[in-house]
Amino acid sequence: MSARQTKVLECAKSHIGSNAWALYLRKTSADGKCVFNPGEYKCNLFVYEMLVAGGVAQDLPNKAGTMGRILNSVIERPFCASEWHAGKVPQMKLVGCGADGLNKSWPGDIVTDGNHVGIISGPQKTISASAIENKIVENNWGWRKENWPSVKVFRYHP
């Protein structure tokens, strides 16, 4: 595990239980570059913020639609779960797919099924922004057998 992955994981762990990324809240990213409105899923924003806090620079390739317009300015957005899944995130290398990818994963790696994205925290554990629980959770999402066919694991590789 690299020093950056350790830092990403430490940052993610420090937010377990926080409702700052809850579905019902408006959330501005720590760097002030992204704004998500109530009703918008924030798992990708959580991963973006943890990567940036861990020293992994991230692009903001997406522009928000009408709901993201504030004072006639277009708000930038981080890569969404489907873009992670498609391998579009620069400097992130595919570790593997399905059970093989999970078995090769390290804490601090990113896992996605194309609909959700989170951070590997240990054996059979991930940390992510749960829209169901409306808080940051550590659980076995991604490791569940029903997720195996679609999950992909990525690692920072400059």
Is residue 92 within 8 Å of 156, Cβ to Cβ? yes
CA distance linking residue 136 with residue 15, whole number of Å: 6
Residue pLDDT, tens place only, 115-130 = 999 999 999 999 999 9
Tokens representing residue 125 in the block: 């554990």
Residue pLDDT, tens place only, 57-81 = 887 776 655 444 444 455 678 999 9
- What type of residue is 119? I
Is residue 125 within 8 Å of 140, Cβ to Cβ? yes
Torsions phi, psi of 84, nearest 5?
Answer: -60, -50
- Whether pLDDT at 147 is above 90: no
Angle in degrees, 0-180, between the axes of helices 43-53 and 3-13, rounded to the nearest 10: 130
Domains of the chain with bracketed CATH: 3-156 (3.90.1720.10)
Residue pLDDT, tens place only, 5-52 = 899 999 999 999 999 999 999 999 988 888 898 999 999 999 999 999
